[in-house]
Structure 1
Amino acid sequence: MSKRIDVKNLNVYYGEFLAVEDVTMTIEPRSVTALIGPSGCGKSTFLRTLNRMHEVIPGAYVTGEALMDGQNLYGRGVDPVQVRRQVGMVFQRPNPFPTMSIADNVLAGVRLNNRRMSRSDADELVESSLRGANLWEEVKDRLDRPGSSLSGGQQQRLCIARAIAVKPEVVLMDEPCSALDPISTLAIEDLIAELKTEYTIVIVTHNMQQAARVSDKTGFFNIAGTGKPGHLIEYDETEKMFSTPSVKDTEDYISGRFG
């Protein structure tokens, strides 16, 4: 199910402003890739280019290529909606639909894609998605309760269940634990470790320990100054990045000397 993504000379623009410059990297299937770096260095912007979410901002566009198993996500005639079905997104703050039940939250993306299904198929998808998000046992007796009735950590796992219900190949996570307590954070990290057996996962995080714990490869982004574009400074196996990085700026950031 999971896909490999090859990014080649990718530049991200908002109108005339170059936000991220010349990113080249390979994101391996069935793995976790962490993107780290100081605020404003373009890592979340880059993450959103992988499912064309940045295009919701008027004037946003890219040059270069993002190939998923050889197909350019920005190729002529490629439907961004279809890209977003293949590449799911989990945002920084849990965002279940507050007026929808837990079950309806899980099915929201599927119904948005106009997929009709029987009641039994819907029930089966709700259970399998919640099990996939390690949430089923906690909510199976209250599926008709609002999604907003759950705790913050449960809401984030509900959002992950909603993302995987549409059966994507890639799951993007933009600081998914930044609003959560340590126990909920651990639950999400354990879930990420399980999900990578089926999905390609890319996560943006400001937590260096989290990047070291959950990821197989890490990319360090940085920026030369205000108004300058973000750059991918170094990209390598996580163990090497956190022990013997090749670039001094990477070592300084990971060790807390700046950022």
Structure 2
Amino acid sequence: MSKRIEVKDLNVYYSKFLAVEGVTMTIEPRSVTAFIGPSGCGKSTFIRTLNRMHEVIPNARVEGKVLMDGNNLYDPGVDPVLVRRQVGMVFQRPNPFPTMSIRENVIAGAKLNNQRMSKKEGDELVERSLRGANLWEEVKDRLDRPGAGLSGGQQQRLCIARAIAVSPEVILMDEPCSALDPISTLAIEDLIEELKKDYTIVIVTHNMQQASRVSDRTAFFNIAGTGKPGKLIEYDNTDTIFSNPSVQATEDYVSGKFG
């Protein structure tokens, strides 16, 4: 299921403002790639270009290419809705649909994609997705209760279940643990380790320990100053980034000297 992503000379604009400049990188399938860097350096902006989610902001545009197994997601005629079905997104704060039950939250994406299914098929999808998010045993006896009634960590795993229910090939996570307690954070990190067996995963995190724990490769972004574009400074195996980076700014950041 998972896909290789190749980004080539990507610039991201909001109107005339260049927010991210000149990113080139390859994200391997069945791996976890972490984006790190100080606030405002373009990590979240860049991750949203990987499923065209940034386009919900007026006047946002990109130059360059994002290739998924060789196909440019930005070619004319490519439907961004289909891109977002292939490339799921989990946001910083858990966002289950508040008026929907746990079950309805899981199958919401499939219904939005006009996927018709019998009750049996729906039940199987719900169980498979919740098991994939390591949440089934905790909620199987209360599927008709509101998803918003779960704890924060459970809500985030419910959002992950909702994302994988539409059978994506890539899962993007924009600071998925920043609003969670340490125990819930550990549960999400364990889940990421399981999910990478089937998916390509990209995660934005401000937590250096988390990046070193969960990722195979790490990309360090930085910014020269207010009003300047964010840039990819260094991209390598996570062990190398944290133990022997080739750029001084990377070493300063991961060692806590700034950011």
Q: Distance in 1 between matches of 2:112 and 2:50?
A: 20
How do 1:120-139 residues align onto structure 2 when only pairs under 5 Å count? 120-139=120-139
Offset of residue 106 of structure 1: 0.2
Q: 1:56, 1:32 → 2: CA distance?
A: 26
SS for the counterpart of 1:203 is: strand
- Match of 1:115, SS? coil
AA at the equivalent of 1:27 = I
The residue aligned with 2:45 is: 45
2:164 aligned counterpart, secondary structure? helix
Residue deviations 1:99-138, cap 9 Å, x none? 1000000001110001010000000000000000000000
State how far apart, in whole Å, the 2-side matches of 1:62 and 1:228 are: 16
Alignment match, 1:163: 163
Deviations 1:7-66 (A, max 9, x none): 000000000000000000000000000000000000000000000000000100000000
Question: Structure 2 stretches of 5 or more lacking a match?
Answer: none
Partner of 2:212: 212
TM-score (normalizing by structure 1): 1.00
Please list the CA deviations of residues 62-107 of structure 1 after superposition, one character each: whole Å capped at 9, or x if unmatched: 0000000000000111000000000000000000001100000000
Name the aligned partner's letter for residue 237 of structure 2.
E
Distance 1:5 1:220 in 2: 17
Letter of the aligned partner of 2:163 in structure 1? A
SS of residue matched to 1:167: coil
Matches for 1:1-259 after TM superposition, within 5 Å: 1-259=1-259
Alpha-carbon RMSD across the aligned residues, in angstroms, is 0.3
Deviations 1:176-209 (A, max 9, x none): 0000000000000000000000000000000000
Once the two structures are aligned, what percentage of the paired residues are identical? Answer: 82
| Alpha-carbon distance in 2 for matches of 1:150, 1:258 | 36
Shift of residue 155 of structure 1?
0.1
Please report the TM-score for the alignment, with normalisation by the length of structure 2.
1.00
Distance in structure 2 (CA, Å) of the matches to 1:15 and 1:28: 31
- Inter-partner Cα distance in structure 1 for 2:150 and 2:76: 42
Report SS of the residue matched to 1:58: coil
Supply the distance in 1 between the matched residues of 2:63 and 2:41 (Cα, whole angstroms).
Answer: 18
Which runs of structure 1 show a deviation greater than 6 angstroms over 4 or more consecutive aligned residues?
none
Distance 1:114 1:78 in 2: 19
| Count of matched residue pairs | 259
Structure-1 separation of matches of 2:75 and 2:28? 21
